[in-house]
């Protein structure tokens, strides 16, 4: 079994504590390599997976191919929506992920920067997707992840959003 540092929060595991086990390093490296292969262009696949799709695929094989705890550490480090991911919100707005949610129970609710409102006009506002309306429901949620090319966003334009 991997040597894991004790913590009041079982998910608060550092990469350093994981690296004390050779098996854990191998498993972490395997997850990282598979994630990279899924999210990078490959000759055998027309388009790479979006980050969120790759994370979902990794989660499908939790417990069978990957150690669940090490996979959880990887996902907490990367976030389901890595920084820079382009997303559409349920409000119709387009946004980019600024930072992952540090709460491991809410990795699907990062902080985003809206750059286009529902009508397609430019906008600039930062929202924590943990914000709730008076009824207790989230004010905004991610409904889709995009690659910059899918929405005709040039690289220089994309980088200026960040």
Q: Give residue-wise pLDDT tens across range 107-158.
A: 889 999 998 888 878 878 999 999 999 999 999 999 998 876 677 766 556 5
Higher-confidence residue of 160 and 57: namely 57
Query: pTM for the complete prediction?
Result: 0.63
Is 30 within 8 Å of 24 (Cβ atoms)?
Answer: no
Which DSSP letter does residue 72 get? H
- Closest of 17, 15, 162, 12 to residue 86, by C-alpha: 162
Is 4 within 8 Å of 12 (Cβ atoms)?
Answer: no
Is 62 within 8 Å of 69 (Cβ atoms)?
Answer: no
pLDDT for res 26: 62
State both tokens at 147: 């690659």
pLDDT for res 91: 95
pLDDT over 70, % of the chain: 76
- Closest of 120, 142, 118 to residue 129, by C-alpha: 142
């Amino acid at each position: 079994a991997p040597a894991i540092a004790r913590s009041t929060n079982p998910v608060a595991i550092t990469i350093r504590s994981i690296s004390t086990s050779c098996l854990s390093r191998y498993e972490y490296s395997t997850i990282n390599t598979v994630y990279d292969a899924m999210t990078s262009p490959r000759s055998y696949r027309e388009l790479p997976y979006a980050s969120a799709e790759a994370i979902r695929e990794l989660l499908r094989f939790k417990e069978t191919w990957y150690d669940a705890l090490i996979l959880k550490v990887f996902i907490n480090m990367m976030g389901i929506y890595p920084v820079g991911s382009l997303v559409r919100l349920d409000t119709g707005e387009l946004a980019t992920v600024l930072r992952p949610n540090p709460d491991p129970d809410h990795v699907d609710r990062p902080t985003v920067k809206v750059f286009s409102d529902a009508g397609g006009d430019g906008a600039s506002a930062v929202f924590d997707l943990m914000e709730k309306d008076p009824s207790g429901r989230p004010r905004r949620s991610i409904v889709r992840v995009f690659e910059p090319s899918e929405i005709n966003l040039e690289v220089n334009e994309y980088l200026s959003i960040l």
